[in-house]
Amino acid sequence: MNQLLEVNDLVTSFRTAEGKLSAVRGVSFSVDKGETLCIVGESGCGKSITTLSVMGLLPSNGEISRGSIQFSGEELTTKNEEELRKLRGNEISMIFQEPMTALNPVFTIGYQLREPLMIHKRLSKREATQKAITLLDQVGIPHPVSKLKQFPHELSGGMRQRVMIAMALACNPSLLIADEPTTALDVTIQAQILDLIDDLKADLGMGVVMVTHDMGVVAEVADRVMVMYAGEVVEVGTVTEIFEAPKHPYTRGLLASVPNIDDPDHSMEAIPGSLPNLSEEIQGCRFHPRCPFAMDKCMEMEPPLFELSSEHQSKCWLQEVKHYDKQSATSS
C-alpha cells in the first residue's frame, strides 16, 4: 500500500465564550509514501489546526467533531492518548515553529537525542550517541560532540530549531509533519534542512506534510499542494498544476503576492481584505467578500470542489463552465 495518510471530511471545532467554532471545515486529503504535500494559506486559515488534529495535539478546548484520519490503515481519531504518544515518538514526527515546546529544558541535547533511539530503535548508548552526532552534523550544527553536553537554553534559537529537527528525524519516521519548520532560520541553513528532509523522503520513503506560507519553499519541496482558506480546501493539485495553472482566485492571489526575484520592481499584489472571523457565517463561497471575480451565484451557493484533472481540484464557480465542457466532451 502506497498511501500513508488519509484524512476524510475532517471538522475540528473549538469551544469558546461565543459558542462552538469550526476552524477546520470538512477537509480531505491524502499523503503517499515518499511524497511531500505542502499546505498553504494565510495564518489563521486552519493549516496548523489540521496538522495538530492529525497528531492528536489539539489544545484542550479543541476537538475533532467529524471525519476520519487513517494512518497506515489505522484510524487515529479513536486512539487514546497513550496509543497516540507511541505513534508520535516513533512513526509520526512533528517539527513545530517554536522549538522550546519540543525540547525539555532539564535534559541535555545528547540525552534527548539518544533516548528515543535507545527506546524505539533499541540502539546501545554508544550507537545512539554516534547517531546523535551524525544527525546534529546533518542539520548543520558545528562541533556536534560538544553540543551533546549542553542544555537547550545554552543554544541560540536557530540552533535549538535544528536540534528539534534532528530529534524529529532521529527515528526515521514514516510521516513527518512540519509546521513552518525553517521560517526562523537563515536561507543557507533553511536550504540545507529542506535538502535533508528531501533526502530522507527519497531514501526512506518518508511522507511529508509541510505547512508553510512561503511559496518559494513550496516550489522547492512540494510534490502536491493543498491551498486552504477559512478552514476549507479551496484548491489542490500537483506542484506544476498549482504554479503553472492555478485556478482558484485565492491561489492566484497567493502566487501574485510572492516577490518576483527577476523583476524586483514588480509590485507585490497582496490580497485585499482579511480572513473571516471563525464565528462569522458566510453564505455561498467563503472567499466572496475578497474575490475580484465574485458573481451573484457566489454569494448564494457554496461551490463544490470541481475536478480539473485526476489530481487537480478547485472549489470555485469559475470552474463550472470548463467542468461541464469537459464532461460533455468526454461523454460525446
> Which residues would be at the binding site for ligand SF4 (CB under 6 A)?
248-249, 285, 287-288, 291, 293-295, 298, 303, 316-318
Strand 3-16 and strand 19-32: the pairing is antiparallel
Identity of the residue, 47 or 147, whose beta carbon is nearer to Mg ion in the bound complex: 47
- Residue 22: Cβ within 10 Å count: 19
User: How many whole angstroms separate alpha carbon 135 and alpha carbon 202?
Assistant: 17
User: Considering the rule CB under 5 A, would residue 212 count as an interface residue with Mg ion?
Assistant: no
**Closest approach of Cβ 233 to ligand SF4, in Å?**
13
Q: Residue 52: which of ligand SF4, Mg ion, none does it interact with, CB under 5 to 8 A by kind?
A: none
Q: Residue 173: which of Mg ion, ligand SF4, none does it interact with, CB under 5 to 8 A by kind?
A: none
Q: Residue 285: which of ligand SF4, Mg ion, none does it interact with, CB under 5 to 8 A by kind?
A: ligand SF4
**Closest approach of Cβ 159 to ligand SF4, in Å?**
43
**Closest approach of Cβ 22 to ligand SF4, in Å?**
19
Identity of the residue, 48 or 93, whose beta carbon is nearer to Mg ion in the bound complex: 48
Interacting span for Mg ion (CB under 5 A) from 42-50, 86-94, 106-114, 287-295: 42-50
**Closest approach of Cβ 70 to Mg ion, in Å?**
24
**Closest approach of Cβ 99 to Mg ion, in Å?**
15
Q: Select the residue interacting with Mg ion from 12, 13, 48, 251 (CB under 5 A).
A: 48
Query: How large is the greatest C-alpha to C-alpha distance in the chain, in angstroms?
Result: 71
Q: Tell the residue number behind the cell numbers 500500500, with chain if given.
A: 1
Residue 31 main-chain phi, psi, to 5 deg:
-135, 130
Residues binding Mg ion: number (CB under 5 A): 1
Identity of the residue, 181 or 284, whose beta carbon is nearer to ligand SF4 in the bound complex: 284
Q: Tell me the three state secondary structure of residue 126.
A: helix
**Closest approach of Cβ 271 to Mg ion, in Å?**
18
User: How many whole angstroms separate alpha carbon 238 and alpha carbon 225?
Assistant: 6
**Closest approach of Cβ 276 to ligand SF4, in Å?**
13
Q: Tell me the three state secondary structure of residue 235.
A: strand
- Cβ neighbors of 223 (< 8 A, separation 6 or more) are 35, 36, 37, 238, 239
Q: Residue 237: which of Mg ion, ligand SF4, none does it interact with, CB under 5 to 8 A by kind?
A: none
**Closest approach of Cβ 20 to Mg ion, in Å?**
21
Identity of the residue, 221 or 318, whose beta carbon is nearer to ligand SF4 in the bound complex: 318
Q: Residue 48: which of Mg ion, ligand SF4, none does it interact with, CB under 5 to 8 A by kind?
A: Mg ion
Q: Interface residues for Mg ion in 254-283 (CB under 5 A)? A: none
- Residue 38: Cβ within 10 Å count: 26
User: How many whole angstroms separate alpha carbon 213 and alpha carbon 195?
Assistant: 18
User: How many whole angstroms separate alpha carbon 255 and alpha carbon 265?
Assistant: 16
Question: How far lies 198's CA from each of 68, 171, 172, 219, in Å?
Answer: 28, 16, 13, 13
Q: Residue 215: which of ligand SF4, Mg ion, none does it interact with, CB under 5 to 8 A by kind?
A: none
Strand (E) positions, the chain? 3-16, 19-32, 36-40, 62-71, 74-75, 92-95, 175-179, 207-212, 224-229, 232-238, 306-307, 313-314
Identity of the residue, 50 or 319, whose beta carbon is nearer to Mg ion in the bound complex: 50
Identity of the residue, 66 or 323, whose beta carbon is nearer to ligand SF4 in the bound complex: 323
Q: Residue 229: which of Mg ion, ligand SF4, none does it interact with, CB under 5 to 8 A by kind?
A: none
Q: Tell the residue number behind the cell numbers 540552533, with chain if given.
A: 159
Binding region for Mg ion (CB under 5 A): 48
